[in-house]
Structure 1
Amino acid sequence: MAADIDEQPAGYERLLSTEHATAIARVAAAVAERRPRHVVFTARGTSDHAALYGAYLSEIRLGLPAGLASPSAITLFGARPDLSEALVVGVSQSGGSPDLTEVLRAARDSGALTLAVTNAPDSQLATTAELSVDIAAGHERAVAATKTYTAELLALLMLVEGIRAGDGGLPAEERRALADLPELAARTLTDPVAAQLAPRYRFAAQIVTTGRGYAYPTAREAALKLMETSYLPALAFSGADLLHGPLAMTDPDVPVLAVVGSGPGGRSMGEVLPRLGERRADVVVVGSAEIDGATRLAVPEVDERYAPLLDILPLQRLALALALTRGEDPDAPRGLKKVTATM
């Protein structure tokens, strides 16, 4: 897991290289030409959180309604929704889950434009879809996904911005900003604070993660990593949802990891953090925002769209360190396999 985490800056650089950027641009141009009316994502596990990020991008950057499909509606209940005007995107590291493939097959039969975003370009998911994007993350050693998650994020970002541009290419300003990501990721991974926090939570019984907008998928992925590797019950909430009741469970014995950036989503957390303070919750702030008196996992400030590619890195480090501190093996979580086949 440690090796996979450390490879992420190189993964960003590889995906931004001319070869892969050109391939993604071709797919983006094909999507733009079809002019879909809405976007439907289908995914499971970690990829579900990348898909949620893609949904935010689609609605905010493309102005298209977007959501996540319920595969069981098609695979178990036999539903055949009319997706003729949709772009249907299957996101999967392995491309090996039969239910996701079945969603793409049904969508394509109904006239949808289908796209697979996967680390396995020869997988069933990729061959079923009309279009495919290779996230080029390379072999992932650990069961708990890290570098494939961030590769999915970056591929979806490049895809959406290419669709927005119309011709699939990224504007020069966007290319320059993305070119800084590998170095910023490498710098983020050198911060020792995440590992130093692990003893603080060694005996925690539960933990809460929270964020808004682009940060919400990060909160959900962090919760999953903590559950997978440390078997620590972790609940993820958007900052808004946290205020609608779950706030009542927070107290000094319930740690809260709050993902807070510098954009609109981060600023909106200004309403959440004081309420957590009233509950005397043990809060750690993750991101570029500086909060007086709060423990912080610092991340370089970037456009809020890019922040998920950096914010998750110290949280992956925390999950790894906490698992080791609690005497667990993060490379082989009990009961998990690299490919989980569901229908």
Structure 2
Amino acid sequence: MAERGAGMAADIAEQPDVFSRLLSGPNAEAIGQVAAAVAARRPRHIVFTARGTSDHAALYAAYLAEIRLGIPAGLASPSAVTVFGARPDLRDALVIGVSQSGGSADLVEVVRVARESGAQTLAVTNDPNSPLAGASEMVVNVAAGHERAVAATKTYTAELLALLMLIEGVRAGDGTLPADERRELDRLPGLASALLEDQTAWQLAARYRFAGRMVTTGRGYAYPTARETALKLMETSYLPALSFSGADLLHGPLAMADPDVPVLAVVGNGPGGGAMREVLARLGERRADVVAVGPADVAGSALRIPTPDVDERYAPLLDILPLQRLALALALARGEDPDAPRGLKKVTVTR
């Protein structure tokens, strides 16, 4: 019998190789070609449709689109199409379906309806032969390979990198990444490998083994990381985890912060991280048990999970790695099997 958590551990460990594979010739060229096709159509807005972990990757891409491209972006509500029968006019839009399996029927329907209305459509998926890919004009294969555990890890970061390469390629106009950008991206596999050697996550698992609930928070590019962390904790450890943007945390939920509720705060060295410093100061006033995830110590936090000092655009691809390991370690410490969470399947069918 396989050791508990062995599948998830192996998936997490493969992420540096997944980064290298996506950045290599054929995969990078394919993403560049799609980016050039998107740039040629000059979409006026971008709509993402996704569920679960992929929804968090899509949220990251929405931040990228608005900040880097200056194009309004948002996440679709699939039920508007599949349950309520809405047929939105998306003629000037780029509609991107993001799904590891590409098998979610509601996402396929959203893309199909969008394409019929005249939208440019794209599937970002780990299965280029999936129904989602078949419903879309264009496909980006995230090339993560088979994922052993039910909880998505390497497919998530592969989606992040593929979406980053896509949007930066659109920004360039011809799909070719600028030389300085390419140099930074080429550092990711090495940075990821070094980060996965750090043992802080295992130490924190012992500290929080008996926690009753957790809060995760971040702003800007870090907010999707906070949301994905909360999901991983819930689906592997069955630990209630609430995720808030740093701004929303100050609007009411701050009242629940106290020494018995651990807070995982993703704090980078850019504008988003700067905006989080007030949040941590307020949490410190309430004597909350705060763990900062980032490259530097932050006032108001008692502990830190160290991550590389990179541009905030790239940080989500790295910051999530020790948090995935924390979810794995915490599940094992609580006697659970993170490879096969109860009640969950790899492909969830929704409508």
TM range, smaller chain:
over 0.9
Matching residue's letter, 2:284 = G
Q: Which of these residues, 18, 23, 30, is aligned with residue 16 of structure 1?
A: 23
User: Structure 2 length as normaliser, TM-score?
Assistant: 0.97
SS of structure 2 residue aligned to 1:336: coil
Matches within 5 A, 1:75-114: 75-114=82-121
Q: Which of these residues, 138, 148, 156, is aligned with residue 149 of structure 1?
A: 156
Matching residue's letter, 1:108 = R
SS of structure 2 residue aligned to 1:340: coil
SS of structure 2 residue aligned to 1:271: helix
Q: Which of these residues, 144, 147, 166, is aligned with residue 137 of structure 1?
A: 144
User: Structure 1 length as normaliser, TM-score?
Assistant: 0.99
Residue 185 of structure 1: CA displacement? 0.4
Any idea what the Cα deviations from partners look like across 1:93-144, whole Å, max 9, x if unmatched?
Answer: 0000000000000000000000000000000000110011000000000000
Matches within 5 A, 1:142-221: 142-221=149-228
Residue 290 of structure 1: CA displacement? 1.8
Is contact 2:277-2:298 (8 Å) kept? Answer: no
Matched, 1:308 2:316: yes
Q: Which of these residues, 225, 231, 248, is aligned with residue 241 of structure 1?
A: 248
1:227 corresponding residue in structure 2? 234
Q: Distance in 1 between matches of 2:316 and 2:67?
A: 15
Is contact 1:27-1:131 (8 Å) kept? Answer: yes
Q: Which of these residues, 294, 306, 317, is aligned with residue 298 of structure 1?
A: 306
SS of structure 1 residue aligned to 2:170: helix
Residue 294 of structure 1: CA displacement? 2.7
How many residue pairs were aligned?
343
Matched, 1:126 2:133: yes
1:252 corresponding residue in structure 2? 259
1:317 corresponding residue in structure 2? 325
Q: Distance in 1 between matches of 2:112 and 2:151?
A: 28
Matching residue's letter, 2:160 = L
Q: Distance in 2 between matches of 1:164 and 1:243?
A: 34
Is contact 1:256-1:281 (8 Å) kept? Answer: yes
SS of structure 2 residue aligned to 1:269: helix
Q: Distance in 2 between matches of 1:220 and 1:287?
A: 16
Is contact 1:266-1:289 (8 Å) kept? Answer: no
Any idea what the Cα deviations from partners look like across 1:244-274, whole Å, max 9, x if unmatched?
Answer: 0000001000000000000000011111001
Q: Which of these residues, 73, 77, 80, is aligned with residue 80 of structure 2?
A: 73
Q: Which of these residues, 276, 289, 311, is aligned with residue 283 of structure 2?
A: 276
Residue 288 of structure 1: CA displacement? 1.4
Q: Distance in 1 between matches of 2:257 and 2:152?
A: 28
Is contact 1:212-1:238 (8 Å) kept? Answer: yes
SS of structure 2 residue aligned to 1:270: helix
SS of structure 2 residue aligned to 1:116: strand
Matches within 5 A, 1:30-45: 30-45=37-52
Residue 287 of structure 1: CA displacement? 1.3
Residue 289 of structure 1: CA displacement? 2.7
Any idea what the Cα deviations from partners look like across 1:8-51, whole Å, max 9, x if unmatched?
Answer: 00000000001100000000000000000000000000000000
Is contact 1:38-1:85 (8 Å) kept? Answer: yes
Is contact 2:227-2:243 (8 Å) kept? Answer: yes
SS of structure 1 residue aligned to 2:242: strand
2:268 corresponding residue in structure 1? 261
Structure 2 spans left out of the alignment, 5+ residues = 1-7
Structure 1 spans left out of the alignment, 5+ residues = none
1:339 corresponding residue in structure 2? 347
Is contact 2:219-2:272 (8 Å) kept? Answer: yes
